[in-house]
Structure formats: C-alpha cells, structure tokens
Amino acid sequence: MKYPFLEKYGQHSGDYLGLSLAGAIKIAPYPEECHKEAFDEYVSAEKIKKITIKDPLRFYIYLCNDYCKTRFVDPDFPELVSLAHQYNIDASTDVYLPEEQRIHVEIEDHAKKQTKKPYEGNPYRPVTGTWKKSVHEFQFSPTSTLDHIAESIKLIGYLAAGIQCPGTAVVLTSDCFAKRAAFTIEELMSHDEHYKLDLAAIISQVDKFIEYTLEVHKDLPFIKQISCAEDAKIKAHEAIAQFVPVLLRPFILKGAGK
C-alpha cells in the first residue's frame, strides 16, 4: 500500500514489513538515508545473522533510532503526531496489514552484498588515517549520560521563571532539549521500557537554581524584573505542571491502550 508521506526507501521498508497506515506513520519521522540504512541492517539481521524478529516494526524503529542517535539526527516526531491526527490513528489501531493485503518485496542476496573485496593495495600502508575513522571506533569515545527528559522539564521551568536571558538562542535551546526528550521517549518505548520520573527532585533542583541565579546575577536587568524568588518558583512549577503531561503523553497513551 502506497503512503503519500513516505518516500522511496521509507515506502520500501513499509512494504517489506507489511505495515498498515498506522505502522507507516510510526516510521514517517525518520529521513530517507535512515530508512535505507535501517532496511539493510534489518535484512542483514534476518538473513545473515538469522535473528528471529518477533516484532518487525519495533525492531525496525530501534534500528532507526540507533542510526539517528549515532549521527545526531533529530527525527521529525511532530510529523508523527500531525499524521496521527490527520488520519485519525490511535494506540489501538493495528500497525500491520493482513497477510492477503501485503506486497511481496524481492530481496537481493545479502550474503553476496555483505562480502567485501580483499584490499589489493600496499599491505604496509594504512587504508586510512585514524582521524578519518568514525568517532565510535575509538576506545574512549565519550558517552552521554544526560537525562534529556529531566533537562527539558527543568528548562521549561527556568524560562517560565524568567531567569534565562531573553533571546532566540534560548528558544532554540529549549526546542533542542524538547526534541531530544521526545527522541529518548520514543527509544524507550521501542524497547518497551519505562521512564521513572522523579518530579520532586527535578522541582527541587529548579528551585535551587532559581535561588542561585537571583542571588548571583541580581544586577542583570531581566533579573531585576523578577519580584522575588518565590514568585519565580511558582511560575516555574505551573509551567512544569502543564508541560510534563504533554511531554509524557506517549507513555500515557501506550498505558491506556493496554
């Protein structure tokens, strides 16, 4: 079945996986180069590594998220929400087509495709310098332990409190953290994992940072406009209370669908 919101490689993956409209929408946030790579990885796991894939869509989304994470690509999750509303899709909609409605997709021999030609150059000369290698090939590559969900919640509180310098950069930073939080949520859901929200700890950290900022930067013009720390905290708490249900809505919808 053809879907207007999927391009060549996305459509090819959707056909191979036998996705329904609801399933196709779930892979819509990912770019074409991601679909091409994820499809090859999926078929390789299935044909070469002989992995039994119990939930094709979930595994495919895992591969897409892994591609995006290692290349610092932000999937277009707002597009997923928009399409779900447009086509009236909810958590109970089946993500796979019935067998009789699926399109058969021919797959070339991946065993041959994966075979690399032996290097015929000078055996004493390195193929490439270490500076050209992927960062993920180095032994001590940095790993991120930042909780994007918690940080996006804190930033919303800081903005509402008025302690962030007004400007476009702050808005872009907030949007970036929100996207990374959405990406983290989607990745957790693809692994059927839950997120433990420690809201009390987050609010405590927000309150302490507000107090610190008002004390240290009290001479800044935009800080002087804040009447008192308690007023700033109340505004932060109200903004967080409104933002958290929206941010964690995918978990809520998934729980309601069970």
What are the Cα distances from residue 157, in Å, to 125, 174, 209, 229, 249?
Answer: 56, 11, 10, 13, 19
CB 254 within 8 A of CB 189: yes
If we measure between CA atoms, which residue out of 85, 68, 83 comes closest to residue 187?
68
Which stretches of the chain score pLDDT less than 50?
A: 110-112, 114-144, 168
pLDDT of residue 135: 39
What are the Cα distances from residue 181, in Å, to 103, 118, 185, 187, 208?
Answer: 35, 43, 6, 10, 22
| Dist CA 134 CA 142 (whole Å) | 13
pLDDT of residue 125: 40
CB 38 within 8 A of CB 60: yes
pLDDT of residue 146: 67
**b/e map of 182-208 (b: 16 or more CB within 10 Å)?**
bbbbbbbbbeeeebeeeeeebbeebbe
CB 86 within 8 A of CB 92: no
If we measure between CA atoms, which residue out of 109, 236, 225, 85 comes closest to residue 160?
236
pLDDT of residue 191: 84
CB 240 within 8 A of CB 207: no
What are the Cα distances from residue 253, in Å, to 15, 39, 70, 91?
Answer: 26, 28, 28, 7
If we measure between CA atoms, which residue out of 124, 107, 118, 91 comes closest to residue 22?
91
pLDDT of residue 31: 94
Model confidence, pTM = 0.46
